[in-house]
Every structure is written in structure tokens, then in C-alpha cells.
Amino acid sequence: MIGLPEDKVIITVAQTGALVTKSMNPSLPEQPQEIAESAHACYSEGAAICHIHARDKEGKTTGSKEVFQQIHDRIRAKCDIIIQDSTGGGPNLTSEQRIECLHAKPEMASLNMGSLMRVSGQYAGIPFSNMREDIETYVTRMRELGVKPEMEVYSHAMFREVENLISKGLVDKPYYINLVLGMKYQGAVEATPRYLESLIDFLPEDAIFNVTAVGTAQLPLTTMGMILGGCIRVGMEDNIYYSKGELAKSNAELVARSVRIARELGKQPATPEEARKILGLSG
């Protein structure tokens, strides 16, 4: 059967990201040991997937295979949470650096389905470039290495790229599609219920969707995502606050709250093993 059982939700935690710093939230896990300890705490609360960005010793985003490997090894020493590396990387990385992580053999990796423009902050005017040719190169490398892509969709137009990969047989069912709302980039949709519902309308058949929403929208839109039959992603990559004016003490705190809400909605968080079966991962 392809699909997410009605009484399950796969929870991903995105703990670090590329842009958040310890000066914004001192609890941000950056170094391999911190990332692993936090991943274990999130796993204990009910997260099945851990989305990973790596930082160098100074806290700057890195694509280094060695650093990703250290993160993987430290996580694996603690728990069997599904490891999903970011190929979005960060604004300082080249396309080759962005996919170095695949050689550290994650089970999954993010695959961004189109280009956006950064419009504020120090990277304003630097595109988040994901040309069709790059997407196809990345997904081909993933296929060679047995890595399942999570397709990141930031606007309706990006479904054209999803369809392109499906029509070329470059992605396998179930298609795992992360609907990302509220990125402050030109070309990304706002985080509103209406946008979420309309993105869901465009999903291809045999897709399982996940909802990611940035900032204050994280809690309401991920809750809505569960109600609409999807999976969710929470964590400090997308939102550093627990509530208005109150910083999250940890990523695990954000996961724990979503698990409480899921249970109130009659859903259980999928274990990593259950999530592997649902997503067709070999483990």
C-alpha cells in the first residue's frame, strides 16, 4: 500500500539549518556531538527523521563529507532515527559541495525543486539556485547511492519539476514531498492555510506530503498538516521560538509539543522503523 496510514504521522526534526546562529538561540546544536545528542532527545520524544545541516568549527555551513560522516556516526551510536541530509546546504556552498554529503550515505536527502531569490539580509541578491539540470544531477547521484529524495516544494510552479522527475523515472513511489511555506525568499509562498490547502491540491498521485512552515506559522500549519493527512517537520532550522517572545529551549521541546498534539488528534508518531516501511527505505 502506498500512503500514510490515517493514524500515523512521520515527524521530522530540522535542528540546525544554515542561517540560524547560537546568538539567535544559544540552544542551537551546531557541532557533531551536539547534533547527535539533540537528535537522540528528539528521537526519544517521537521524531522519526532528522534533517541535517553541518557546520564547521566556527559555526559556518559546510558541505564537508567528513563532518557529515562524524554527525552520522555519532547519531548512529545513539539511535536509529532516519538520517536525512540537506543538499540545500547554505549560501556559501557550490553545487558540488552541496552534494558531498551524499557520500556519507544518508538514507534520505533534501532535493530542492526550483530556484528562489534571497531578498533580505547579507545574502540579498544571491539566488538559491536549483536549475533543472542541477536537480537532475542531484537526484541521479542519489539514485546511484540509494538515497531517497525528499522533494522540497516552495510554490505551485515547482510541481512542474516534480512532474519532470516522475516522467523521467528519476524518483520512486511513494514520492515524498515537503511543502515549505513562509520562506522569506522571492518565489516562495506565504505560510497561510489557503496556500497549504492549494499546494496539497497539486500533489501527484502516490505522494506523501510533509508540511514545513517558517517562524510563527510552524505550530499552526504543521497542526493543520496533520489534520489534512500529512507528515510534519519542526525544529529550530525553521523556527527558534517556543511561543511569542520565548525561545525554544531545545529541538526536543518542539518535537514533544507536536507529539502531544498528534496524540490529541488520534495519531501516533511513526517510529523510524515504521517510517522506513511507509517511505520504502531499505534501512
Using CB under 6 A as the criterion, which residues of the chain lie in contact with ligand KMH when the complex forms? 14, 17, 86-88, 110, 112, 152, 180, 183, 212, 214, 237-238
Q: What angle do CA 219, 224, 225 make, to 5 degrees?
A: 100
CB of 168 to ligand KMH, least distance (A): 21
15 binds Zn ion (CB under 5 A): no
Other CB atoms within 10 A of residue 10 CB? 24
Helix, strand, coil shares of the chain, percent, nearest 5, are 40, 20, 40
Query: Residue 112 binds what, of Zn ion, ligand KMH, none (CB under 5 to 8 Å, by partner type)?
Result: ligand KMH
Query: What is the rounded CA–CA span in Å between residue 182 and residue 165?
Result: 25
Instruction: Compare residues 233 and 257 and give the one whose CB is closer to ligand KMH.
Output: 233
Instruction: Compare residues 62 and 86 and give the one whose CB is closer to Zn ion.
Output: 86
Query: Residue 12 binds what, of Zn ion, ligand KMH, none (CB under 5 to 8 Å, by partner type)?
Result: none
For 86, left (φ over 0), alpha (ψ -120 to 50), or beta? beta
Q: Which three cell numbers stand for residue 149?
A: 529524495
Enumerate residues 6+ apart whose C-beta is below 8 A from 199: 153, 156, 179, 181, 189
CB of 214 to ligand KMH, least distance (A): 6
Instruction: Compare residues 70 and 130 and give the one whose CB is closer to ligand KMH.
Output: 130
Site string for Zn ion, 61-90 (x = CB under 5 A): -------------------------x----
Q: Given the rule CB under 5 A, which residues bind Zn ion?
A: 86
